[in-house]
Every structure is written in C-alpha cells, then in structure tokens.
Structure 1
C-alpha cells in the first residue's frame, strides 16, 4: 500500500518551484549508510514503496532500513480526453518533494559493500540522481569531554 497522509488541511496544493539545497534531513542520522539525492524532484509514493521493497529483498532481516522521506504533497490530474476549463482536477497521487542533499533512505547493520549494492538497486528506481553517503564520525551524538 502506497503512503499518503491521514488527513491534510487542503486537498489540492500548488506546484511551486524546488529552490535551493536541503538544509534539513541532509545528514545520515539513523543508520550507518545513506542514499542522498543530488537533484531536485518529486518522488511518488509508489516509487518510495518500490524502493523499500527492493531494499528489503536485498537486506532480508540482517539490517534495518529507514525511509527518511514522506509524500505530503498531492498532485492533481484531469481525466483523459477532457476539454479545457472546468477547474482543477482531483487529487491523483502523492509525492515527496526532494531537494539536492536530502537523505532519502538509510541502512544500519550491514557492511559497506552490502549497503553499496543495496543502494545501487534502489537508485535505479529513483527519478532523481543519487549518491552513496556514510555517517560522519565527527557528528556523533556522544557527549564532548571537557
């Protein structure tokens, strides 16, 4: 089942431009390795689910997969062969807005080689360019010794 919000304030949303780089959600936090987007774009709920299935099939219980994006934005569509006018179409599907630098998926409990193979499978399904990133050791959440 594809993801979608339980309830929204407004059924239909405007498209908007995707400007700038990601300032939030741009570091690996939950896992050891991550898949980071290098392009801006919209990722549908079906694509997110297809990536989850591809990763779960490869990981098979040895590691943990974290999905860091969620489709909050509704995309409307008009029925085929409909004349112009008559207002905006009904919500058709849901998308996640992804900026360059957004970490979309994370893996924990697998080796680096396994993570690279898993994310290569996942990146083939994504409509944006992606790169493999690992957790930065200097950003660990350990208390500083003073």
Structure 2
C-alpha cells in the first residue's frame, strides 16, 4: 500500500476539491492513460486494486505509471467512542483527484489490450474516468 514515509503533520483537514487539474492533465510517459472526470478522494487501497487489475490484464508486459499518490491522512475515531477528546488517529491515506487528472499511464502493449486493461482498472475506482491516448491528439 502506498503512503508517505514522513509527513509534516499527523492529521489533515478534510477540505474540498475545487476546480480542474492544471498539473498532470496530459500524458507524459505512456501511450494510453486513465483520466478522471469528477473530483473525488481515491484511497491507497483503490489505487492498488486498480494497478493490480491493469497489470494482470497486460500479463505483466509493457509498463504502468501511477500518476497519483495518497498523501492525505484520513482520521477516524474508534467505534462507540463519545464526542470530544480530540480528533481520531489516522486510519488510511487518500489522494485528492481533480477532474482532468491523468491517474494511470501505460505503454508497450497493443491498443486492444491497453484499452481493456484500463477499463478493468477504472472499475476499481470510485469515479467516472475516460481512456485517453496519445494517438487521439494526432
């Protein structure tokens, strides 16, 4: 599971995800990518599940790049604990994803396999996505 080695603060505010992605909105590494179409917090477990689905369909050929990193801690109080006495302990890590952000990129596999593997990876994520390719821009 992905998580930061070290953080400046143990707990973070929830915040809101405003606007569209400025950084990470174009393909930089591979020929095909999975682009987010709505704002959402994606957990480290969901990222890992999508990565496994993509690499399994590709039969470990080609290369996969993960363009998002879960760096925001989400805290939770234990079950049946009364209100007060501070914020809960960090429970899991999330990446805040804006619309337009490229989440995964792949390269080195044929078009049909690339699209199918990204479709299977998208099924593991809690947001609507679109498969984009470098070839569409030509």
- TM-score, length basis structure 2: 0.95
Provide the aligned length of Structure 1 versus Structure 2: 138
Shift of 1:61: 2.8
Deviations 1:85-135 (Å, cap 9, x if unpaired)? 111000000001100000000010112211110011011100111000012
Instruction: Kindly report which structure 2 residues correspond to 1:1-146, keeping only aligned pairs within 5 A, or say none.
Output: 2-135=1-134
Once residues 135 and 73 of structure 2 are traced to their aligned partners in structure 1, the CA distance between those partners, rounded to angstroms, is 34
Gap runs ≥5 in structure 2: none
Q: Give the Cα separation in 1 of the matches to 2:117 and 2:135.
A: 20
- Over the aligned positions, Cα root-mean-square deviation in angstroms equals 1.4
For normalisation by structure 1, the TM-score amounts to 0.90
SS at match of 1:125: coil
Unpaired runs of at least 5, structure 1: 140-146
Q: 1: CA distance between counterparts of 2:131 and 2:104?
A: 10
Instruction: Give the whole-Å Cα distance in 1 for the aligned partners of 2:83 and 2:63.
Output: 48
For 1:5, what is the secondary structure of its paired residue?
Answer: coil
Q: Which runs of 4+ in 1 moved over 4 A?
A: 136-139
